[in-house]
Amino acid sequence: MSDILKIFFVTDLHGSEKCFLKFLNAGKFYKTNILIMGGDITGKLMIPIVKQDDSFEATYSDAKHVAKNNAELEALEKEIRFEGYYPYLTTPGEMEELQHDPEKVEEVFKKLMLDNVQRWVNMIEQHLKGSGISVYITGGNDDLREITPILQSSDFVIDPEEKVVFLDSKREMLSTGWSNPTPWKTPREVSEEELGAMMDKMASEVKSFKNCIFNTHVPPIDSGLDIAPKLDANLKPVVEGGEMAVIPAGSTAIRAAIEKYQPLLGLHGHIHESKGFVNIGRTLCINPGSEYSEGILRGVIVELDDGKIKNYLLTQG
Is residue 124 over pLDDT 80?
yes
Say if residue 171 is in the same domain as residue 72: no
Taking only the tens place, the pLDDT of each residue in 52-95 is: 999 999 999 889 999 999 999 999 999 999 999 999 999 999 99
Say if residue 203 is in the same domain as residue 73: no
Whether the Cβ atoms of residue 120 and residue 86 lie closer than 8 Å to each other: no
Say if residue 205 is in the same domain as residue 242: yes
Say if residue 280 is in the same domain as residue 147: yes
Say if residue 207 is in the same domain as residue 130: yes
Taking only the tens place, the pLDDT of each residue in 144-158 is: 999 999 999 999 999
Cα angle, residue 39 at apex, residues 34 and 40 outer, rounded to 5° = 140
Domain boundary among 59, 84, 109: 109
Integer angstrom CA distances of residue 253 from 13, 33, 194, 257, 260: 25, 30, 9, 6, 10
Domain boundaries, position 74: 46-109
Whether the Cβ atoms of residue 86 and residue 80 lie closer than 8 Å to each other: yes
Taking only the tens place, the pLDDT of each residue in 206-250 is: 999 999 999 999 999 999 999 999 999 899 999 998 899 999 999
Q: Output the pTM of the full model.
A: 0.96
Rounded Cα–Cα distance for residues 85 and 75 (Å)? 14
The alpha carbon dihedral of 291, 228, 281, 204 has a sign of: negative
Say if residue 220 is in the same domain as residue 134: yes
Say if residue 25 is in the same domain as residue 162: yes
In the beta sheet, which residues pair with residue 189?
179
Domain boundary among 91, 109, 127: 109
Domain boundary among 109, 133, 161: 109
Number of domain units in the chain: 2
Say if residue 50 is in the same domain as residue 40: no
